[in-house]
Amino acid sequence: MTHSSPTTIVELAHMLKPSWTSLSYLKQVVYHLVDMAIAWNFERIVLSAYQWLSENYEDGDQIFLFGFLRGAYQVRVIAGMIEKVGLLHKGNNDQIPFAYELYSATVTERQTKAQATNDVHNDESLQSSSTNSEEKIDKERNAENQHEAENPEILASYFKETLSRPNVKVHFVGAWDTVSSIGFVRGPTLPETTTGMKHVTVFRHALALDERRVKFPT
């Protein structure tokens, strides 16, 4: 990145007008924009940006998130995390890693739910000759209660209601050429990142129409 050819995200940062706050705030914004754009450490950067929002958000603020390449995916993750577990009240930084674990666990819940249901049905079929109806009902009820107690979706919802600020929603997400990984190694898609982004008020995604590299799927 050079001064003669700054990235789109840096150009955007230079266009901000800090009339409502101090220069130190603007420097912090630029730092996070550039850090997310480079995206050397995915989780660290996501948690750092989330922590910054948690510490600086005030009632009535509108949250705007911008990123390109992996940074574009990271701002989607931040928006998804706020949707799933909310934005923690200031002073709860020690809860942020757990909040991220809850958020990321919800995708595992969706992926395994169908398989778990099939396993239960298959197990019941194998034991149908030796199990009466009452035992089946008890088994299903116990399994359901255990599932609810361990269900990441339910835990995330409870976390959001009890520890996070009420009614916080990301207003705008702007993304350039989103990629979820570098190279061929790809992890699971995190929640609320590829489902239309309907949990944000406005979502805009700019794409390079001449992109042909299969190693960088959008």
Q: What is the pLDDT of residue 114?
A: 45
* One domain, residues 15 and 91: yes
* One domain, residues 175 and 67: yes
* One domain, residues 91 and 183: yes
Q: What's the structural domain count of the chain?
A: 2
* One domain, residues 88 and 20: yes
Give me the tens of pLDDT residue by residue for the chain, a chain 218 residues long: 445 566 676 777 677 666 545 445 555 555 565 655 555 578 888 899 999 999 999 998 899 998 888 888 889 999 999 999 999 999 999 999 999 999 988 765 454 454 444 444 454 444 544 455 666 555 555 545 444 556 888 999 999 999 999 999 999 999 888 877 544 444 567 888 877 788 999 999 888 777 666 555 55
Is 2 a member of any domain?
Answer: no
What pTM does this model have?
0.69
The 10 Å CB-count burial string (b at 16+, else e) for 132-171 is eeeeeeeeeeeeeeeeeeeebbebbbebbeebbbeebebe
Stated length of the chain: 218
* One domain, residues 37 and 83: yes
* One domain, residues 128 and 75: no
How remote is the C-alpha of 24 from its chain's centroid? 27
Q: What is the pLDDT of residue 177?
A: 80
* One domain, residues 173 and 127: no
* One domain, residues 156 and 200: no
Q: What is the pLDDT of residue 121?
A: 47
Range of the domain at 153: 101-160
Q: What is the pLDDT of residue 2?
A: 46
Place of tokens 């209601």: 161
